[in-house]
Amino acid sequence: MITAFACGDGNLHRLTDTGSTEALRQAVWIDLLNATPDEIDRVQQATGLQVPSQAEVSEIESSSRLASRDGALYLSMPLIQLADDGPRGVSAGFVFTLERLVTVRFAPSRVFDTFLEHLPDHATPHQTGPHIFVGLLEAIVDRQADVLEQVRADLDTLSHGIFAMGANQKGGRKAEDATLRRTLGRLGHIGDLISHVRETQVSAARIVPYVEATAADWMPKALMPRLVTLRQDIASVSDFDTHLNDKLQFLLDATLGFINIAQNNVMKVMAIASVVGIPPVLIAGIYGMNFKNIPEYDWAWGYQWGWALILLTTLIPLGVFRWRKWI
C-alpha cells in the first residue's frame, strides 16, 4: 500500500492518486506498507531511489543500517508491534534526500499511523524530506517514552502486589502459587517489551549523530537544534529504560524468592511429617510383632500403654519444632 504526501499551497496534503508515476514525483513523503513489486517499481521510477527489501532493513550491523549512496541516506531501525500474544520487533526503513522521504514498512505501526493521521494538521510551509524524517523520529522517541511510562505504572502495580502478598493473600497456597505464576508471566512480558524499546533507542541513538555528520552540508539548518534536542531525549529515555530494567530484575528476583520460600515451606511440612511419623510407626511395628515373649501382651492396660507411647512420641517432636520456632 502506498500513502503519499505532497507540499502545495504552503502545506502538506495527502495524494489521492498514487497509481501513476507522475503523481508520485510530486510527493515529499511516500510511505510503503507491505508494498507489492509493482508499487516498489513505481516508487523507484518516480523518485530515482532504491527501495530496500525486508531483508535489507532487518540487517543488524551498523554498516547496513546506516548508509549513504548517491546523495541519499539509507537508514533502518527496529520498531515495536504490540500484538495480542506480546510485543514483536518489526523493522522499518528510511530513505531520504533534501527533496523527499521514502519509508518502508512490513507491518502496521501505531506511531506511523498516528503521525500520518495528524501530519496535515501540524504541517508548516516548505516541508522537505528531512523535516518529515525528523518529525517522524521525534514521534517514535515520544512513543517509546509513553510505552516506558506505562511499563513503570505496571511495575509499580506488580511491586505492590508482590510485597503485599503475605499480608493480603487469600485463598491459601493454591491462590498464592497462581498469583506468583501470573506475576512471572507478566514480568516476562514486560521484560520483552523493555528489550524491544531498548533496541529501538539504540538504533535511534546511532541514527541521529550519523545524520548530523553525513547530511550536514544539505540538511536544513533549522533542523539542527531539533536533532540536538532529539539526541538528549534519546539519552534520557535510554537512562529511564536502564532504570526500569533494573527494577524489573529486582521484582523478578523477589518473585523467585517468594517461590523458593513457598517450595521450602512445602519441603518443611514434608520433613516434619516424616520426623513426627517415625516414632509412632516404630512403636506400632514393635507391638505388632506376634511373639509371646513380649511382656506388654499380658498387661491389663497394654493397649492404652501403646496408644500413650504413640501419642507421646508424636507430640514431643512437634513440641521441639514449636520451641525452636521451626513451625
Most confident of 126-130, 149-153, 313-317: 149-153
pLDDT for residue 122 is more than 60: no
Q: Please state, rounded to an integer, the average pLDDT across all residues of the chain.
A: 81
Do both 119 and 149 map to the same domain?
Answer: yes
- Determine the average pLDDT of the residues in 14-22: 76
pLDDT for residue 123 is more than 60: no
| pLDDT score recorded for residue 322 | 76
Do both 177 and 301 map to the same domain?
Answer: no
Do both 252 and 290 map to the same domain?
Answer: no
Number of domains in the chain: 2
pLDDT digits (tens, 9 = 90+) for 182-193: 888 888 888 888
Do both 161 and 306 map to the same domain?
Answer: no
pLDDT for residue 167 is more than 60: no
- Determine the average pLDDT of the residues in 287-302: 72
pLDDT for residue 231 is more than 70: yes
- At 246, the pLDDT band (50, 70, 90 cuts) reads very high
Residue where a domain terminates, one of 262, 287, 311:
262
pLDDT for residue 121 is more than 80: no
Query: Domain holding 311: CATH number?
Result: 1.20.58
How many other β-carbons are positioned within 10 Å of the β-carbon of residue 19?
12
Do both 200 and 308 map to the same domain?
Answer: no
Do both 254 and 277 map to the same domain?
Answer: no
Do both 217 and 281 map to the same domain?
Answer: no
Angle (CA) 129-95-35 rounded to 5° is 110
| Strand extents, DSSP E, the chain | 2-8, 11-14, 27-33, 66-69, 72-83, 86-96, 101-105
Do both 224 and 316 map to the same domain?
Answer: no
Residue where a domain terminates, one of 246, 262, 278:
262
Residue where a domain terminates, one of 262, 279, 314:
262
pLDDT digits (tens, 9 = 90+) for 57-91: 787 776 677 888 888 888 888 888 776 667 777 88
Query: Domain holding 30: CATH number?
Result: 3.30.460.20
Rounded CA separation 276/315 (Å): 8
Range of the domain at 311: 269-323
Do both 144 and 23 map to the same domain?
Answer: yes
C-alpha distance across the termini of the chain, in Å:
68
| Burial (Cβ within 10 Å: 0-12, 13-18, ≥19) of residue 129 | buried
Do both 126 and 273 map to the same domain?
Answer: no
Look-up of cell digits 505388632: 288
Do both 277 and 241 map to the same domain?
Answer: no
Do both 16 and 95 map to the same domain?
Answer: yes
